[in-house]
Amino acid sequence: MIPRYSLPEMAELWSDEVRYATWLEIELLAVEAWSQLGRVPADVARTVRERAPMVSADFVRAVSEREAVTDHDVAAFVDVVQEAIGHPEGSWVHYGLTSYDVVDTALSARLVKSTDLLVEASTSLVAALKSRALEERHTAMVGRTHGMYAEPITFGAKLALWCLQADRDRRRLLAARRAVAVGKLSGAVGAYGTIDPEVEARVCSRLGLQPVPATQVIARDRHAEYLWACASVGAGVEAFATEVRHLQRSEVGEVHEPFAKGQKGSSAMPHKRNPVICERLTGLGRLLRGYLGAGLEDVALWHERDISHSSVERVALPDASHLAYYSLRKMATVVEGLEVDARRMAENLERSHGLVFSQPVLLALVGSGLDRDTAYRIVQRNAMAAWSQGKDLRTMLEADPDVVLEAEVLDEAFDLERSLRHTGRIFEQLEAVE
């Protein structure tokens, strides 16, 4: 992942040092498990642990140099580790294992930690959305459908719905964590031909993973589920970011993403304040969906395994983890620093010339005894005229001889508070979100 979208904690997790350190720990745990089962002498297992190399930049470089000869990363890794430990003790490293016993189990361990970071970031976004939703609970604004004025809502209700969606994404991440928190040390085709199942059980237990039946590899639908959770996070963040972008448009101007002191919106036009963060997050959502497609392609492998998934996963899994994490963290900062212009929201409500109350008027006419189509045509005719002439809908209706409604009935139809009286139902669900 390019540094621009890489945050330190996730970058460290997906570094070569952590990858090899995890491989090494699995190899050491396997030797110790064999020792506990009586296959490897106890003093040998202790020596293997004591002489195990420190995984550093020098170690990574040594493996890379060895891989230039072996053209096999795990074989190169094992060679370097065995050389560091020395003969004969080092010969017990990788005993009975196949490459993907180590690679897949280590990958699962890192995916679990990656998901923990994602859940933590998701929780921060949920908390930010809930806090801002409660803060803006009574801030009235125009609701829009198809990009057009519809009926009144509150900005708090909009944020509350975002919060509920972000919470669903968090639960998807937790489900993905369960799917990938598995390991396998069952040999070349998963039949335990060269390894005792108890070794698998002991190693996985130490890593906090659940042993699962497998071929030479863990089934890739689990990894696709992880990528689905990342893509869902990206889609959710993109949905929120897209709304902010629309509401920040010059002709709307109801909310603005944070704009730091000294920031420039354009190299050419000093007046510009572009929603660049939200535009960036929209783009990252597209990338995340692409990685999901690649992950789904990896589910179908030949027989007990082939290697077609490997090159995909070396890019897709770390990059998706980076982008989902970055998106969650960045969206939380947007929500926390979002500038809400309640005055502009009120002005835009006023600019509708009362059109946002057309349905209550329609229902009042139906209630007065008119058939629905007749009532609809009356309101539609007046609404079109009000908009084209820049006049108030209520004034137009009061002058229309076909509208026989008492003043108090029209008062109720054009009452903003009446339109918003049930938005509290959304916040009832919000109370359960932690």
Among residues 64, 266, 311, 368, the one annotated as catalytic is 266
d(C-alpha 1, C-alpha 335), whole Å: 25
Band of residue 1 on the pLDDT scale cut at 50, 70, 90: confident
Please report, for the chain, the start and end positions of each structural domain, with discontinuous segments joined by +: 1-95, 355-413
Q: Cis omega before residue 88 (within 30°)?
A: yes
The tens digit of pLDDT for each residue in 23-67 reads 999 999 999 999 999 999 999 999 999 999 999 999 999 999 999
The tens digit of pLDDT for each residue in 114-128 reads 999 999 999 999 999
Predicted pLDDT at 377: 97
**What's the 3-state SS for the chain?**
CCHHHCCHHHHHHCCHHHHHHHHHHHHHHHHHHHHHCCCCCHHHHHHHHHHCCCCCHHHHHHHHHHHHHHCCHHHHHHHHHHHHHCCCHHHHCCCCCCHHHHHHHHHHHHHHHHHHHHHHHHHHHHHHHHHHHHHCCCCEEEEEECCEEEEEEEHHHHHHHHHHHHHHHHHHHHHHHHHHCEECCCCCCCCCCCCCHHHHHHHHHHHCCEECCCCCCCCCHHHHHHHHHHHHHHHHHHHHHHHHHHHHCCCCCCEECCCCCCCCCCCCCCCCCCCHHHHHHHHHHHHHHHHHHHHHHCCCCCCCCCCHHHHHHHHHHHHHHHHHHHHHHHHHHHHHHCEECHHHHHHHHHHCCCHHHHHHHHHHHHHCCCCHHHHHHHHHHHHHHHHHHCCCHHHHHHCCCCCCCCHHHHHHHCCHHHHCCCCHHHHHHHCCCC
Averaged pLDDT, 423-432: 93
**Number of C-beta neighbours around residue 293 at 10 A:** 12
Architecture of domain 355-413: Orthogonal Bundle (1.10)
Predicted pLDDT at 137: 97
Instruction: Note if 352 is an active site residue.
Output: no
Instruction: Note if 271 is an active site residue.
Output: no
Same fold: 1-95 with 355-413: no
- The pTM of this model reads 0.95
CB contact set of 45 (below 8 Å; sequence gap of 6+):
31, 32, 34, 35, 92
Inter-axis angle of helices 155-180 and 99-135, to 10 degrees? 160
Q: What is the mean pLDDT of the chain?
A: 97
CATH superfamily of 1-95: Fumarase/aspartase (N-terminal domain) (1.10.275.10)
The tens digit of pLDDT for each residue in 331-389 reads 999 999 999 999 999 999 999 999 999 999 999 999 999 999 999 999 999 999 999 99
Among residues 87, 146, 303, 422, the one annotated as catalytic is 146
Predicted pLDDT at 154: 98
